[in-house]
């Protein structure tokens, strides 16, 4: 039902200049998406790492002053250093370090297909909660301002932070929306019952699963009224974890959402769900089978694969949905469908 | 510095009537505490379980309608059923069940030492988020109302929920304050900078530790502005996790708090901390050594030991602190000290 663009991937690593000369772009993927005055904007996650040095692991971290990235070096194979996952280094005391640091970068297009990538980052790590990077933004237009929530990573954990912009030049930060471990947040494009609404994916340790919850806010800063909304389904493609994607699209049948799910093997697919317009915690329908699974080569080979992950979508006036997604944590791709097709598939 | 009461434990299992005849009280422990018109109230966690039946594990769970507890029975030693921890049953699919269900029960005293336990529960599990029980309440008096936050446990995870009462007879529920996994919440007894303030202990998975965070609210329902506040200290008594205890006590030197910490062996001790009056995320001082460690027999033997855990404290006008604490997840005990003594110990 989703038709991949012929030109996929639409943004590749080689299309992105690293933020400094001694860094290499490791992946450009999960992007927020929005259409502003006819222009398509993608706010992409760009993961960078220092150029490889044989015998050393290089760990890029925002420095204590939060005004620049420093590189920590560890001997490869040093005792207690586990680098078996190329994205992560695990130390003997259980501490985790990341081998790349992500920032958010804009790409622009007039047709939604051919994008030009900005030379400089839009949002670069700059707070103590962002020392290991900023990731996976979602964009919601509310009250004339673009609200950007994103994962902020540090030794304190994975939190969701909030920023906003009116002009896509100046960005204002609004602090931490949700404490660790909480990600995959999307804010609804309008208030419901007088409150702002979002989905989030808190991590449930021991009891509970990696499920989607809904929360409410009078001001976008303070959130409460948490309600459990969507669970993984044992034995299916989304048995291990689920998390929401881009902000929901309002349709006459309900709030239409694209979410991601992973199975026990860590294979990420996309599904769709439809929620009640007035009570968004009430899920009316949900994909039995994925609407998109990793099948193309750029989805099944890369930094982390097989994986498709969506946090940006543009709904056109004619009912076309442009679904921008990260493939294999390596590139940005796009697939198209119609709102009506997705809803039909749910019933 | 903390002087245990001679009469410890002050509430024992045999002092508590189970909520129904076929249940046994497994533990009466972690209690909120407050002094109301000269009377000391403890809001205690009472863990109950069905009477033992040889060959069966009995799992008490609030039923689907949330109007009564049903007992699920599993064969002892059935394949895939791990009951090696007497408090928990782990199924083959990773699902956890609890072998007891907790409610909150009041005990009353005129002298703060000899308590009479109510015959009936004060707050009994009654929502889908409370199907496995309600635990570890903290009590804060604000605007003439007593606010009670507590851990609500279900198959959806461990959340913090909020209730309130004006008269300790009628209780009103206010939903979920923090999504999973988040507990050890305490609400400050006054607004700071125009906002309500609380500590909480979100669970950080992978990156991050079980640390104390601070959050802010305009209305006690919606919380945000999360700030990392207190971490475990590697190699010490609180190396594995820390969590706050009763609401802070205001002193001229700062907010005085009792918190708990556990080491890697899971031994729970109490510590003290002092935070800036105007910026409670700024910790001025913190116990190097515990202010209370499990040493008495009732602290080192019981359902979970060694363990002392405090979520209730009464500050008297003369500077006396009565620290009510759960010992070994089995009984309630009390220890006394002076505010000045604790603060002196921190410097």
Confidence of residue B63 (pLDDT cuts 50, 70, 90): very high
Q: What pLDDT, in 10s, does the model give residues A46-67?
A: 999 999 889 999 999 999 999 9
HEC readout, chain B: CCEECCCCCCECHHHCCCCCCCEEEEEEEEEEEEEECCEEEEEEEEEEEECCCCCEEEEEEECCCCCCEEEEEEECCCCCCECCCCCEEECCCCCEEECCEEEEEEEEECCCCCCEECCCCCECCCCHHHCCEEEEEEEEEECCEEEEEEEEEECCEEEEEEEEECCCCCCEEEEEEECCCEEEEEECCCCECCEEEEEEEECCCCCCCECEEEEEECCCCCEEEEEEEECCCCCCCCCCEEEECCCCEEECCEEEEEEEEECCCCCEEEEEEEECCCCCCCEEEECCCCCECCCCHHHHCCCCCCEEEEEEEEECCCCEEEEEEEECCCEEEEEEEEHHHHHHHCC
Q: What pLDDT, in 10s, does the model give residues A229-275?
A: 999 999 999 999 999 999 999 999 999 999 999 999 999 999 999 99
Task: Please report which residue ranges of chain A form alpha helices under DSSP H.
Answer: 297-300, 339-345
Nearest to A222 among B157, B202, B217 (CB): B217
CB–CB of A202 and B157 under 8 A?
A: yes
Query: How close B41 gets to chain A, by Cα (Å)?
Result: 28
CB–CB of B225 and A222 under 8 A?
A: yes
Q: Would an 8 Å CB–CB cutoff place A228 in contact with chain B? A: yes
Task: Please report which residue ranges of A33-167 form alpha helices under DSSP H.
Answer: none
The mean per-residue pLDDT over the stretch A294-302 comes to: 98
CB–CB of A206 and B96 under 8 A?
A: yes
For residue A316, give the DSSP letter: -
- A chain contacts of residue B210, beta-carbon cutoff 8 Å: none
Chain B segment 270-289 residues within 8 A of A by beta carbon are: none
Residue to mutate among B85, B157, B183, with most A CBs inside 10 A, is B157
Q: Would an 8 Å CB–CB cutoff place A68 in contact with chain B? A: no
Q: How many CA atoms lie within 13 A of A287 on its CB side?
A: 23
- B chain contacts of residue A202, beta-carbon cutoff 8 Å: 157, 179-182
CB–CB of B221 and A217 under 8 A?
A: no
Domain boundaries, chain B: 3-345
ipTM of the complex: 0.96
- A chain contacts of residue B240, beta-carbon cutoff 8 Å: none
CB–CB of A176 and B234 under 8 A?
A: no
- A chain contacts of residue B202, beta-carbon cutoff 8 Å: 157, 179-182
CA gap A106, A46 in Å, rounded: 10
CA gap A211, A201 in Å, rounded: 6
Task: Determine the 3-state secondary structure of A270 from DSSP.
Answer: strand
Residue B281: is the preceding peptide bond cis (ω within 30°)?
no
Task: Determine the 3-state secondary structure of A234 from DSSP.
Answer: coil
Whole-model pTM: value is 0.97
Contacts of B242 (CB under 8 A, 6+ apart): B201, B210, B211, B212, B230, B231, B232, B259, B260, B261, B271
Q: Would an 8 Å CB–CB cutoff place B266 in contact with chain A? A: no
- A chain contacts of residue B209, beta-carbon cutoff 8 Å: 157
CA gap B273, B199 in Å, rounded: 13
Structural tokens at position B319: 């500077």
CB–CB of A225 and B224 under 8 A?
A: no
Which residue bears the tokens 């009891």? A207
Q: Would an 8 Å CB–CB cutoff place A179 in contact with chain B? A: yes
CA gap B259, B317 in Å, rounded: 22
The mean per-residue pLDDT over the stretch B67-78 comes to: 93
Q: What pLDDT, in 10s, does the model give residues B226-245?
A: 999 999 999 999 999 999 99
- A chain contacts of residue B203, beta-carbon cutoff 8 Å: 180-181, 203, 205
Which residue bears the tokens 């189970």? B18
The pLDDT of residue B1 is 87
The pLDDT of residue A205 is 87
The mean per-residue pLDDT over the stretch B183-209 comes to: 96
- Residue in chain B lying closest to A216 (CA): B222
8 Å CB contact between B43 and B31:
yes
Cα distances from A238 to residues A247, A261, A267, A308, B228, in angstroms, run 20, 4, 9, 13, 32
For domain A3-345, give the CATH number: 2.115.10.20
Contacts of B328 (CB under 8 A, 6+ apart): B29, B294, B298, B299, B300, B301, B302, B303, B304, B305, B306, B307
- Residue in chain A lying closest to B264 (CA): A93
Structural tokens at position B274: 């002092």
Q: Would an 8 Å CB–CB cutoff place A217 in contact with chain B? A: yes
The pLDDT of residue A25 is 98
CA gap A306, A314 in Å, rounded: 24
Which residue bears the tokens 């540090």? A154
Q: What pLDDT, in 10s, does the model give residues B258-302?
A: 999 999 999 999 999 999 999 999 999 999 999 999 999 999 999
CB–CB of B180 and A208 under 8 A?
A: yes
Task: Determine the 3-state secondary structure of A298 from DSSP.
Answer: helix
Total beta-carbon pairs less than 8 A apart between chain A and chain B: 151
Q: Would an 8 Å CB–CB cutoff place A226 in contact with chain B? A: yes
CA gap B143, B327 in Å, rounded: 32
Which residue bears the tokens 């072998």? B99
Query: Is residue A333 scored above 90 in pLDDT?
Result: yes
């Amino acid at each position: 039902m989703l038709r991949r663009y012929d030109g996929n991937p639409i943004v590749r690593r080689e299309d992105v200049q690293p933020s400094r000369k001694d860094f290499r772009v490791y992946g450009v993927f999960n992007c927020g998406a929005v259409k502003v005055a006819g222009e398509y904007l993608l706010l992409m996650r760009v993961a960078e790492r220092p150029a490889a040095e044989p015998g050393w692991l290089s760990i890029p971290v925002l420095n204590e002053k939060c005004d620049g990235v420093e590189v920590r070096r560890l001997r490869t194979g040093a005792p207690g250093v586990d680098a078996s996952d190329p994205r992560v280094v695990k130390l003997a005391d259980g501490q985790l370090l990341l081998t790349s640091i992500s920032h958010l970068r804009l790409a622009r297009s007039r047709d939604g297909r051919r994008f030009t990538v900005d030379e400089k980052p839009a949002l670069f790590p700059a707070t103590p909660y962002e020392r290991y990077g900023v990731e996976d933004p979602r964009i919601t237009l509310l009250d004339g301002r673009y609200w950007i929530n994103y994962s902020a990573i540090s030794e304190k954990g994975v939190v969701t932070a909030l920023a906003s912009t009116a002009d896509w030049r100046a960005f204002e930060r609004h602090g931490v929306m949700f404490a660790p471990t909480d990600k995959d947040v999307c804010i609804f494009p309008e208030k419901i019952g007088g409150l702002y609404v979002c989905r989030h994916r808190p991590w449930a340790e021991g009891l509970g699963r990696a499920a989607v919850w809904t929360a409410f806010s009078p001001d976008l800063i303070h959130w409460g009224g948490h309600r459990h909304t969507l669970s993984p389904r044992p034995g299916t493609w989304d048995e291990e974890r689920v998390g929401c994607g881009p902000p929901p699209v309002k349709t006459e049948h309900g709030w239409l959402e694209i979410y991601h799910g992973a199975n026990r093997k860590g294979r990420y697919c996309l599904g769709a769900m439809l929620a009640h317009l007035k009570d968004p915690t009430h899920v009316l329908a949900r994909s039995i089978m994925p609407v998109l699974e990793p099948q193309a080569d750029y989805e099944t080979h890369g930094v982390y694969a097989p994986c498709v992950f969506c946090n940006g979508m543009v709904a056109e006036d004619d009912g076309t949905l442009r679904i921008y997604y990260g493939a294999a944590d390596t590139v940005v791709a796009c697939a198209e469908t119609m709102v009506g097709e997705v809803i039909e598939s749910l019933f």
